[in-house]
């Protein structure tokens, strides 16, 4: 589709060999998507679905579980109040949501398009994140 600028993907929790702690590896084995199987589903959906990125902002974010979509809706309606961020409540609730997603994602697995967080569409924030990302990976890109 030549109208696509970018499609974001949230594969949820995907098990990898990155963690070093046995407990974390065990938890990811139990609850995370398999990296060689369903963990790739949302990525392939974003790459090959003919509607990806084509219908305003409703097809530019792909998730691998309905629980992620439900939390995104919650996040967009409740957690946008600045005072929640200033008090640390927003981060606390996001941390809790992260672990609930880990526990429930396999039970609610489905690949679908959804609306991303409202901040995702803020060009100024996108540029700041891009600049931060470049600086964050600089130690690994120096030849």
Q: What is the pLDDT of residues 57-107, one digit of tens each?
A: 567 788 889 888 787 777 777 666 778 778 888 888 888 988 898 999 999
- Nearest to 77, CA basis, from 90, 58, 91: 90
Express as a percent the part of the chain with pLDDT over 90.
12
How far, CA to CA in Å, does 35 sit from each of 64, 93, 95?
Answer: 13, 27, 23
Give CA–CA dist 135/128, Å, rounded: 11
First to last CA, the chain: 36
Copy the structure tokens of residue 59: 């097809």
């Amino acid at each position: 589709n030549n109208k696509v600028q970018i499609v974001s993907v949230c594969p949820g929790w995907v098990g990898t060999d990155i963690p070093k702690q046995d407990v974390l590896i065990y938890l990811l084995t139990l609850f995370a998507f398999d990296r060689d199987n369903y963990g790739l589903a949302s990525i392939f959906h974003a790459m090959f679905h003919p509607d990806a990125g084509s219908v305003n902002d409703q097809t530019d974010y792909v998730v691998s579980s309905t629980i992620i979509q439900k939390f995104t809706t919650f996040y967009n309606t409740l957690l946008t109040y600045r005072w929640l961020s200033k008090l640390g409540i927003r981060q606390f609730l996001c941390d809790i949501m992260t672990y609930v997603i880990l526990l429930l994602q396999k039970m609610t697995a489905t690949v679908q398009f959804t609306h991303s967080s409202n901040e995702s569409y803020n060009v100024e924030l996108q540029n700041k994140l891009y600049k931060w990302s470049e600086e964050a990976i600089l130690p690994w890109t120096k030849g």
